[in-house]
Amino acid sequence: MVTQCAKRIREAEADPLKDGSRPAARARRKFPKPPQEMDVAVLATLPVPPPWNPVEQAQWTEASLQSALQHLAEADPKLATLIESHPELPVRLLGKQDNMFAALTRSIIYQQLAGSAAAAIHLRFLKACKVGETESVLPEQVLVVPMPQLRECGLSQRKAEYLLDLARFFSEGLLSDVAIKAMEDDVLIMELTKVKGIGRWSCDMFSMFQLGRPDVLPVGDLGVRKGMQTLYGLKELPNPAQMKEVAKAWEPYRSLGSYLMWKVPTAVQRKQPSKSPVKLTATAMPNMG
């Protein structure tokens, strides 16, 4: 029996198929031998991938602000008149050196509050976290403060929860100073809005005034919308699509163009008609602490 099987195998190997190959040879091509492990010496010669080295996004400098003012004045005649009335350099747009966590906690505390009231609450909050006057609050300092003590600072239950959620994001490494500075604008919005209490408007204000990003258009800011409506003679407050269309001429300096919208004098509406002339005032800029 064994002899007959061996004979048939030899006959099969000797009998070529139509394509000229032999069954045994074709079988070997179907099931190639596994590749041998690469020699250690060869591995040592391969290039090592460089470590992750995040590059910070562009920030304003005094020189770039000056150049941008000139660019906007040449690109948009309506802005040219406004810039002529406000020639001072908007240094508020320069990036800050504070740590990102401290800046975001301040942003949350200041939301929807008058400046003096927010400043008092912020000061009590820092004391509760045992932060010195010249120090910046850290996530670990916030996480150990009991909720009742946070409430005693004047924080609402919701804002206290927002601050704790922000502290967890930083403590667990989901956010960091290095990562935030390297994020592109759309990625920054996506990541920051995962934190409770931080929405699109807060992201835009943070990008403009903390990070010093040059090309942010805060489509949700009422002051920018009112300024744009007045300066460009729009019948109604512009929606986001209309704002982007108007601001095309400002690129890549939409942060500066938006800042100038807060400088546009807008009519103060009176509840009762009066013969006296309507008072014009600039829209208040957001208080970021």
User: For 115-120, which contacts have Cβ atoms below 8 Å and span 24 or more sequence positions?
Assistant: 115/287, 117/154, 118/287, 118/289, 119/289, 120/154
Residue 271, pLDDT score: 40
Tell if the pTM clears 0.75, that is, is over it. no
Residue 24, pLDDT score: 47
Residue 51 reports pLDDT greater than 80: no
Asked if 125 and 176 count as a contact pair (C-beta separation under 8 A), the reply is: no
For 96-211, give the CATH class.
mainly alpha
Per-residue pLDDT band at 58 (split at 50, 70, 90): confident
Q: Where are the domains of the chain?
A: 63-94+215-266+279-289, 96-211
Furthest C-alpha separation in the chain: 122
For domain 63-94+215-266+279-289, the question of CATH label 1.10.1670.40 is answered with yes
d(CA 42, CA 38): 7
Residue 115, pLDDT score: 84
Residue 26, pLDDT score: 47
pLDDT in tens, 193-252: 999 999 999 999 999 999 999 999 999 999 999 999 999 999 999 999 999 999 999 999
Q: Work out the percent of the chain whose per-residue pLDDT is above 90.
A: 65
